[in-house]
Chain A
Amino acid sequence: GNSVTQMEGPVTLSEEAFLTINCTYTATGYPSLFWYVQYPGEGLQLLLKATKADDKGSNKGFEATYRKETTSFHLEKGSVQVSDSAVYFCALSDSSYKLIFGSGTRLLVRP
């Protein structure tokens, strides 16, 4: 079946460091791919998405590129801030409505 695999956390970085959170997927067909973020005490928010191969989603300095050849959708940011501390979820949608999530990666950014 379809699935999403994320790198395990927590990921601890100093402010202004470069961030990569790996995400790979298994799916039939051509799913849409998403990154959601959950800040402490808040609900899930869509961070970015990509709907077809080679698309790049971007938002708030974060980027992820849909790589069909490697079935990956890695999240990157060039310079993290303390306010980026949160749990990040990679997800795919193969049916236009049902989201399949990875297990989440906690990011802690220290001043």
Chain B
Amino acid sequence: GAGVSQSPSNKVTEKGKDVELRCDPISGHTALYWYRQSLGQGLEFLIYFQGNSAPDKSGLPSDRFSAERTGGSVSTLTIQRTQQEDSAVYLCASSRDNSGNTIYFGEGSWLTVV
């Protein structure tokens, strides 16, 4: 597709289970970002990938969160041993590079931990 694609769009999981969220960036975009949008917290930066460089993981809230980007394209955000406070919309975004080009967001994956 033409835009950033995320799956699943909605996920309900039980507390303590692991979840994986997938992001397929716009073709040719080398920069990829994950953000979290939760009630009362606004939009928080989680992690940033640029080409083959080491990712900026400074926004990950705990060691239960991890992300990888295979082949410089698709990315997976993994949350282990989910907690109720992990409930949020997880947004993926991409841009052509990191030189100030427009960042395009996907529609997000809505995670609910029960």
Measured CB to CB, the residues of A under 8 A from B are 32, 36, 42-46, 49, 51, 89, 91, 93, 96-104
Contact = CB atoms under 8 A, between A and B. Distances in A.
Contacts of A93: 100
Interface string B79-98: 00000000000010101001
22 contacts: A32-B100, A36-B105, A43-B91, A43-B107, A43-B108, A44-B105, A45-B105, A46-B104, A91-B43, A96-B98, A96-B100, A97-B56, A97-B103, A98-B45, A98-B56, A99-B33, A99-B35, A99-B45, A99-B103, A100-B45, A101-B43, A103-B42
Contacts of A45: 105
Interface of B: 3-4, 31, 33, 35, 42-43, 45, 48, 50, 56, 91, 93, 95, 98-100, 102-108
B24 to A, nearest CB: 13
Given A43-B108, A45-B105, A97-B33, A51 B100 contact: yes
Given A93-B100, A96-B100, A101-B42, 16 more contacts: A43-B91, A43-B108, A44-B91, A49-B102, A51-B100, A89-B43, A97-B31, A97-B56, A97-B95, A98-B48, A99-B33, A99-B45, A99-B103, A103-B42, A104-B42, A104-B43
A33 B106 CA distance: 20
Contacts of B56: 97-98
A49 B102 CA distance: 9
B45 A46 contact: no
A96 B97 CA distance: 9
A96 B42 contact: no
A100 B95 CA distance: 16
B23 to A, nearest CB: 12
A93 B48 CA distance: 14
